Amino acid sequence: MPHVFKGTAVSLLKEIYSLDIESALGILSKHFPDLVAFSTSFSNEDQVITDLIAKSKTSVEIFTLDTGRLFDNTYSTWEATNTYYGIHIKTYHPDAQSLEDYLNLNGPNAFYQSVEKRKECCSIRKVEPLRRALKNNAVWITGIRAEHSLNRQQTSLIEWDETNQIIKYNPLLNWSTEDVKEYIQKYKIPYNPLSDNGYASIGCSPCTRAIKENEDIRAGRWWWEDNDKKECGLHIKR
């Protein structure tokens, strides 16, 4: 039924564009009961969205991609989030055989050697598990913000994701970094403490560093690569 969902994306955008996020979540859940999923990486943005999902009292499924190379702080934030909201966030892992083959052929840190090897690692650890997570869902909620990169400035509040054949909802698209921080402080929700230490964008441990003063918000991700290559494949448009 992907073609049906694709045709619905435009009408949904008109319906929820001017609504607050909790109301929008309610409409999406009404249109697609039990077919709305949110992928969290436990970033500040994702913590805000988790809080809004909890407040909306909708049946949105929350899941995460455990790459096996996350920061200890990320796992702690995951546990704190489960406890705070009384939930159990579902997890998807890389295919064991694919990961074994990659590591046996290339070694544990091959992603530093070339963009191609890094993207292959991302594909195994993140892209393929995401496809499994989104399978049979109609709507994918993400924490994308326009501030993140030039590529993401071309993103819409609701759009059709051709790669995953799913409607994509980016509720915080037009929020600023300050908006996100203020929300976390106002409602005292759990967040990754790395964000207090210069980690503006948090991914896998070996591929993430704190940013320096006046650096771009995504400068700490895959910092050894050119800026135009800094996507892992989760949010590539076709």
CB 198 within 8 A of CB 63: no
Predicted pLDDT at 41: 96
The 10s digit of each residue's pLDDT in 184-193 is: 999 999 999 9
pLDDT band at 223 (very low <50, low <70, confident <90, very high): confident
d(C-alpha 194, C-alpha 200), whole Å = 8
> pLDDT tens-digit profile of 79-127?
999 999 999 999 999 999 999 999 999 999 999 999 999 999 999 999 9
User: Which DSSP string corresponds to 50-103?
Assistant: HHHHHHHT---EEEEE--S-B-HHHHHHHHHHHHHHT---EEE---HHHHHHHH
Catalytic, out of 121, 122, 204, 232: 232
Report if pTM > 0.75: yes
**Residue 47 within any structural domain of the chain:** yes
Cβ-contact 25, 52 below 8 angstroms:
yes
Asked if residue 120 belongs to a domain, the reply is no
The answer to the question of residue 77 being in a domain is yes
Per-residue confidence (pLDDT) for residue 96, from 0 to 100: 98
Residue span of the structural domain in which 134 resides: 2-96+125-193
Report residue 229's pLDDT band, with 50, 70 and 90 as the boundaries. Answer: low
Number of residues assigned to the chain? 238
C-alpha torsion sign, points 101, 95, 225, 164: positive
> pLDDT, tens digit, for every residue of 24-61?
999 999 999 999 999 999 999 999 999 999 999 999 99
232 noted as active-site residue: yes
Contact assessment for residue 141 and residue 108, using Cβ atoms and an 8 Å cutoff: no
Residue 101 lies in a domain: no
Please report, for the domain that includes residue 18, its CATH number: 3.40.50.620
User: How many domains does one find in the chain?
Assistant: 1
